[in-house]
Structures are given as C-alpha cells and as structure tokens.
Amino acid sequence: MEWLTVPFEVTFVQRALWGGMLVSAICALAGTWVVLRGMAFLGDAMSHGLLPGVAVAALLGGNLMVGAVVSAAVMTAGVTALGRTPRLSQDTGIGLLFVGMLSLGVIIVSRSQSFAVDLTGFLFGDVLAVRQQDLLVLAAALLAALVVSVLGHRAFLALAFDSRKAHTLGLRPRLAHAVLLGLLGLAIVASFHIVGTLLVLGLLIAPPAAALPWARSVRGAMVLAALLGALATFGGLLMSWHLSTAAGATVSALAVSLFFLSHVLSGLRDRRTRHAHAPVLEAN
C-alpha cells in the first residue's frame, strides 16, 4: 500500500490535499446552486473575467488574490446591472462581459514587454504550490461561504425553483441573486489558484452535478458534492504523482469522470426502478 501513502508523506502534497479539500467544500456550497439554476455559463464567464485584475496585480507587484477579488466584484456588479436591463437577455449580457473582461486582460498583459503575468499559472493553476498562508485564506473563505449559505438558504431555495414566489414571500429575489453571484465569485476566486480558471468549473460544476441524482435535499447535495470533490482531489493528486501529469488538470478530469460515472449509475438505478414498478400483464 506504499503507492497510496508515499505521495502524501511529502509536505507540499499534504498542503495541496488540504487546499483541494477546502476548495471542494467552497465549490460545493456555490456550485450546487449554479447547477440547480443552470448558471454554468455564468461561472465560466466569471472565472475568465478575473484576468484583468490578476494581470494588473501581477504587473504592479501586488497580491494576485486581491486583483482577482476586484475583478470578481466588477463582474458581479456588471451581471447584476445587466440582468435588470429589460431589452437585453441575461446570456447576452454575460457573454459581452465575458469577452470584454477577457480582452481587457489580454490587452494589459500585451502592454508588458516582459509579459510578467504567468498566464499558464492563471489558466491552469498550481495546486502543488499551495502555501500555509493560502490554507488560512481558504479556511476563511470557507467560513464566509458557510455563513452566506446558511443565512441565504431560504432565499436561494425559493430563487432556484420559483423567483415569483420568492418575491411574494418577501425574500427580495434581486438581492438574493446578487448575494448568490457574490458566493459564486468567492468560490471562483478561492479556486483559481488551485486549479486555474480553465479548470475551475471541474470542481465547481462536476461534483454537485454528480451528487444531485443521489441527494434528497439541497443540503445533502452540498455535503455529497464536497465529499466527491475531496475524493477527486485525493485521487487526482495520487494519479498525478505516479503518472507525472499536471496535478490541477488531473484533479479536474477526475471530478468530471466521477460525474459521468454518477450519471451512468443513476441511469441504471432509474431503469431498475421503472422495471420494478412496471405493471405485470397476466396471460389469459
């Protein structure tokens, strides 16, 4: 069993495992609502919309996380504002913000003669470079995500299934939508350093989507999604160690593989259930 334990005897792999597990929990809290509301495109747009802030922070020698937070705030405000424009569909507004922010980021990078921004690290992350202070930041982000999820659960639930009823119940759906966007931004900002913006949807979407067919409640789906994300992190790090593959991409690929496995198994379960309840025709 040494092949199973040897990689995790190394300090930086241990930090990567803890970082990935914290990110998985954060993504489970936000990603479950993203899947329920069909907001995957929005998540993709917001993850790429971090580039301008990260690029400016890198060029100025500042903290990349701060730059990512600023960009996430701009994207959240932009999506919220455009969502209130009656003549513009939400998908169109999100697409325009996506392209605009990504283009702005590339322009900022291109203005640097030394190309100081490490685009590879931004796009694909570096889970093996997680530091002790990064774990503290992720723990704080998880605590904030938990607080938002608990306080906003009723409003998020009504918003996901019937926004008109949410308004009738006085749950302020517009404010709930803005807060939910903030929770999504928090998850993306916390995750991009681990798996990068191109792969962040792997942990944000795949575990919740894999969990929903087996869960009996939204909270149950979140717990199961966090466990599946942690499993993908552990398995991805183990595979990347033995196969010499990119750690973040391996974690994300395994998370997506777990989704397809869940989809197949839930389909077989549903088929068996239908056969078990099918009426039996007696021969005359």
- For residue 176, the Cα-to-chain-centroid distance in whole angstroms is 19
13 in Cβ contact with 128 (< 8 Å): yes
Query: Would you state the structure tokens that stand for residue 195, as one six-digit string?
Result: 């798996």
d(CA 148, CA 56): 29
Average pLDDT over residues 197-206: 82
Residue 84's SS3 state is coil
- Domain count across the chain: 1
Q: What is the pTM of this model?
A: 0.85
d(CA 262, CA 32): 15
Percent of the chain with pLDDT over 70: 88
State residue 283's pLDDT score: 46
Residues in Cβ contact with 214 at an 8 Å cutoff, skipping those fewer than 6 apart = 224, 262, 266
Average pLDDT over residues 29-44: 87
d(CA 225, CA 203): 9
State residue 110's pLDDT score: 75
Considering the chain, what is the average pLDDT of its residues? Answer: 84
DSSP state of 169: T
Per-residue pLDDT for 280 more than 60? Answer: no
Domain annotation covers residue 57: yes
Residue that is written with structure tokens 């068996």 in the block = 272
284 pLDDT band, cuts 50/70/90, is very low
223 in Cβ contact with 113 (< 8 Å): no
250 in Cβ contact with 199 (< 8 Å): no
Per-residue pLDDT for 148 more than 70? Answer: yes
d(CA 243, CA 250): 10
Average pLDDT over residues 45-54: 83
- Domain ranges, residue 250: 1-270
* Strand runs labelled E in 14-74: none
Domain annotation covers residue 163: yes
CATH code, domain carrying 152? 1.10.3470.10
Domain annotation covers residue 279: no
Domain annotation covers residue 132: yes
**pLDDT tens digits, one per residue of 88-98:** 677 777 888 88
**pLDDT tens digits, one per residue of 163-196:** 666 667 666 777 888 888 889 888 888 887 777 7
Domain annotation covers residue 284: no
136 vs 88 pLDDT, higher one: 136
State residue 223's pLDDT score: 96
14 in Cβ contact with 22 (< 8 Å): no
Looking at mean pLDDT, say which of 28-32, 72-76, 117-121, 151-155 comes out highest: 28-32
Domain annotation covers residue 35: yes
Domain annotation covers residue 93: yes
* Strand runs labelled E in the chain: none
**pLDDT tens digits, one per residue of 255-268:** 999 999 999 999 89
Domain annotation covers residue 231: yes
State residue 57's pLDDT score: 82
- For residue 209, the Cα-to-chain-centroid distance in whole angstroms is 11
Looking at mean pLDDT, say which of 39-53, 106-120, 247-261 comes out highest: 247-261
Per-residue pLDDT for 271 more than 50? Answer: yes
